[in-house]
Amino acid sequence: MNRPQPTQVSLGHLDATVLDYLQTKALSLHCRAISEARDLLDVVLESLEHPLSPEHQRRLIERADDELASAQQWSELAANARFCREHPELAQQLAGDATRSTAPATAPREELRPRRANRKNAARS
């Protein structure tokens, strides 16, 4: 089943209400993708006790991997939406829409961490 993937949009253009909805929806889709990946991995583990072709096991694992990748993308979208909602002036500067100021744009300390985690860490969230 192919689910639509998060698209690259300039979140800096969206208002706080839309960003809040986007974050909520993305988190919901993240949780759904994690749940689907866990279900697929459970099937793979159960299949180890029963004869199942290696090809079929491989496809199940690939589908679980795809779900985890999707979950990671939704999680990143939710985090970006939260950042844009909490720091609209920085989001607009990052999008290139703000008027040029003399002070450099700096992110708050808690935002200075990598946005991407490996898939293993994404599965634990």
DSSP code at position 48? T
The pLDDT of residue 97 = 55
How many Cβ atoms from other residues are within 10 Å of residue 67's Cβ? 23
The pLDDT of residue 28 = 93
How many Cβ atoms from other residues are within 10 Å of residue 117's Cβ? 15
State the number of CA atoms in the 13 A half-sphere of 107 facing the CB.
11
The per-residue pLDDT string of the chain (125 residues; one tens digit each, 9 = 90 and over) reads 455 444 445 777 778 888 889 899 999 999 999 999 999 888 888 888 887 788 888 898 899 999 999 999 999 999 988 888 888 888 777 776 544 445 544 444 443 344 444 444 444 44
The pLDDT of residue 31 = 94
Q: How far apart are CA 62 and CA 39, in angstroms?
A: 13
Domain ranges of the chain: 15-97+115-124
